[in-house]
Amino acid sequence: MKREVIVTADGSSTIHIPEWNEQYHSKHGAIQEAYHVFIKHGLSYILEIDSKKRLENNICILEIGFGTGLNAFITLLESEKHNLNINYTGVEAFPVALEEVAQLNYVQQLKAEVKLTEFTKLHEVSWEKNQVVSNTFSIIKQQKKFADIRDVNIYNLIYFDAFGARVQPELWTEDMFKIMYDALKNNGVLVTYAAKGSVRRAMQAVGFLVEKLPGPPGKREMLRATKVLEPDL
Ligand SMILES: C[S@@+](CC[C@H](N)C(=O)[O-])C[C@H]1O[C@@H](n2cnc3c(N)ncnc32)[C@H](O)[C@@H]1O
């Protein structure tokens, strides 16, 4: 499908798919959305609850849709800011080409010019192999379909950033959320920009505890789902 780089309302770029009239991020602001959904209500939230529960200091994150690498990059920036050890897994079936990456303005918009090497590295490192990108951040990019994920009990956090249910309804089903549920550790958290009732019910049907939270600019609500297992007696 044809893809073109466009600029969103906060000045940051994203990729637009004309055939679907769908974007990789919110048109109201790609960077704003990414920080709100995935950092504020995802990473920062699990750090808050982790520090209470004294969980391990290696944080494993799974991203559903590596795409432009924006979520991976802001997570890398956070890992350096808070001195966290992050192991990131980015799953993506249709990688963005390096010529497209060259048109994205995230490094400038985030005033992260000193981290240009790391942003480039996120895209240039080879797939299917664990790669150390910085002292605090390593990544494995896996080129495959989300439906083929078979990880069990690995992740503390999932960034569920698939295209919307309007264009890919098959990615917002009970089957898909069961795969996500299995991939999470106990108390693991999944965050997504979506807030549809059918999505919330599919999450609940596989066992997630689901919260509705205020959405990013231009969106009333978003969802956060937690895998809560009863402790062994
Ligand atoms: C909303 S975009 C992800 C945006 C990304 N998180 C970012 O920060 O740029 C959704 C991504 O899912 C990928 N994708 C779509 N269907 C897929 C599938 N069935 N399996 C794996 N990847 C898929 C697309 O190629 C696209 O990169």
Domains within the chain, CATH numbers bracketed = 29-227 (3.40.50.150)
* Statement: the pTM of the whole predicted model exceeds 0.95: yes
Which residue numbers in the chain have pLDDT < 70? 51-56, 231-233
- What is the reported pLDDT for 196? 96
What are the tens digits of pLDDT across the range 87-122? 999 999 999 999 999 999 999 999 999 999 999 999
Q: How far is the CA of 63 from the centre of ligand 1 (A)?
A: 9
Residue nearest to atom 18 of ligand 1 (CA): 145
Side-chain-side CA neighbours of residue 65 (13 Å): 18
Distances (CA, A) of 5 to 66, 97, 105, 220: 16, 12, 10, 26
- What is the reported pLDDT for 230? 72
Q: How far is the CA of 146 from the centre of ligand 1 (A)?
A: 9
Query: What is the distance, to the nearest Å, from the Cα of residue 115 to the centroid of all Cα atoms in its chain?
Result: 20
The token pair at 54 is: 């004294």
CB of 145 sitting under 6 A from ligand 1: yes
CB of 65 sitting under 6 A from ligand 1: yes
H-helix or E-strand spanning residue 14? strand 13-17
Task: Please state, as a whole number, how many other Cβ atoms lie within 10 Å of the Cβ of residue 182.
Answer: 16
CB of 33 sitting under 6 A from ligand 1: no
Burial class (CB in 10 A: 0-12, 13-18, 19+), 33: buried
- What is the reported pLDDT for 56? 57
The token pair at 102 is: 């060259």
CB of 92 sitting under 6 A from ligand 1: yes
- What is the reported pLDDT for 229? 84
Residue with tokens 């192999």: 129
- What is the reported pLDDT for 185? 96
- What is the reported pLDDT for 55? 52
Residue nearest to atom 25 of ligand 1 (CA): 94
Average of per-residue pLDDT values in the chain: 95
CB of 146 sitting under 6 A from ligand 1: yes
Query: What is the distance, to the nearest Å, from the Cα of residue 31 to the centroid of all Cα atoms in its chain?
Result: 12
Residue nearest to atom 23 of ligand 1 (CA): 93
